[in-house]
Amino acid sequence: MSLKDRSIALVEDDPIMGESLVQMLSLEGALVTWWRSGGEAIAASPRHRPEAVICDLRLPDVDGEQVFLAWANSEMPPPFVFITGFGDIDQAVRLMKGGAGDFLTKPFEKDVFLERLADLLPRRSEFAGACLGVSPPMRSVQRLLDRIAKVRSTVLITGETGTGKEVAARYLHGASSSGELPFVAINCAAIPADLLESELFGHERGAFTGAGQRHLGYAERAGGGTLFLDEVGELRPELQAKLLRLVEERTFRRVGGEKDLAFSARLVAATNSDLQAAVAIGRFRKDLLFRLDVLNVAVPPLRERKEDIAWLLDRFFEEFAALVDTPLRGVSALTEQAAADHPWPGNVRELRNRVERAVALGLGPWLMPSDLFPEALQHQVVDAFGSLAEVRNEAERRHIERALGCASGEMARAAKILGIGRTTLWEKMQKLGLRAG
């Protein structure tokens, strides 16, 4: 697999080794960010989302393991390739068991290094096959994104926090013809306001104190791919003006630069705030909103698409159960019921976090409501108990609903998925008060 336009981070204190790796990767077309200390890499970890990190295990300030742990706690941790000396192999093996991607012992051959790195990079086309949900509202969001993927217009994705706006943006990117090009994400609220401009547009050497070398911003690194601006409503007025120029004229300038540079990526902005209201009180530019909101995709909150809850529960359960040695065999019907009744103020993110914790701590064999909602009082958990018949009916109802969802309401296909005859399915649906479609 080619490294062209893949964003790679390097954590290496040795200037000779660092230079040579940067050169080697750049020659392959990779977009490289080089941090010369572990501290620098840790400080940058919440903002930068490279597709892989190459990290020296022995760094002068903090251990490479600490750098790995800082990234491992992020939402989409990138794979790590550790560069180790002979004495560090035990530690490297332990890190691989903990989820790092690979390690190479110095000295290593260029071709071996590039091949092992390329193997670790996520395949971009995988995004295209992803499915955003089984509920009717999410299926229509997915259909809309499939249509938008065919054009290059700017997109505004709206929705409450944690609903999956970035997941939707990644899906759109993967489904586009530029899906092999970079997807560069930036959270406008997570970067200190005074750094944002140089992070977004880059800076020239000497543009300000500490700007020791030219730095390419996200707009430039996105190339012909997608630039995803999350929480765009948080941009300060000066940056709103610069973003307007980016969208209107499709050009930008690095901080301290004199040349206009062309912006060739598709811009996808996202917000969980009401931008119309922000315009009304003068906090957001009306002309910018007009330019961003060319195509609008509204991701509904999880409470408005309850069919996705059990589906996501299963997906996250499988994802986390595969990572640890757990006695848990699956999610109980009671837990599905309790999850369906929960309002999910933190949306999909909350669900994912709850499943992660439940899988880590659950004693099994089934993930129970108290694993998912440990804060609930004991008596509430007891109240959630129904008779066996109630629980069985509820589980059947949910399973049939999911099968119908997957079969787009077609009874014959749903019956096949469920492994029962059409008449049996029809009878069960009558009994449970379900309708197809």
Ligand X SMILES: Nc1ncnc2c1ncn2[C@@H]1O[C@H](COP(=O)(O)OP(=O)(O)OP(=O)(O)O)[C@@H](O)[C@H]1O
Provide the binding-site residues for ligand X, judged by CB under 6 A.
75, 132-133, 159, 161-167, 230, 270, 272, 348-349, 352
Residue 137 vs 386, nearer CB to ligand X: 137
CB of 346 to ligand X, least distance (A): 9
Structure-derived torsion over alpha carbons of residues 39, 41, 46, 50, reported in degrees to the nearest 10:
-170
Q: Which residue is nearest to ligand X (CB)?
A: 164
**253: which residues sit within 8 A by CB, 6+ positions away?**
201, 259, 260, 261
CB of 316 to ligand X, least distance (A): 7
Report the alpha-carbon distance of residue 59 to residue 34 in Å, rounded: 14
Residue 301 vs 386, nearer CB to ligand X: 301
Q: Which residue has the tokens 């009306």?
A: 286
Residue 165 vs 253, nearer CB to ligand X: 165
Residue 275 vs 429, nearer CB to ligand X: 275
Residue 50 vs 164, nearer CB to ligand X: 164
CB of 356 to ligand X, least distance (A): 9
**φ, ψ at 405 (rounded to 5°):** -60, -50
CB of 408 to ligand X, least distance (A): 18
Residue type present at position 106: K
Q: Answer positive or negative: Cα dihedral of 279, 283, 286, 292.
A: negative
CB of 289 to ligand X, least distance (A): 18
Residue 100 vs 157, nearer CB to ligand X: 157
CB of 210 to ligand X, least distance (A): 29
**Strand locations in 188-223 (E):** 202-203, 215-216
Bridge partners of 84, per DSSP, are: 105
Residue 103 vs 127, nearer CB to ligand X: 127
Nearest Cα to 65, choosing from 73, 56, 74? 56
Bridge partners of 82, per DSSP, are: 55, 103
From residue 7, how far is each of 25, 52, 110, 197, 289 by CA, in Å? 10, 7, 18, 20, 29
CB of 114 to ligand X, least distance (A): 29
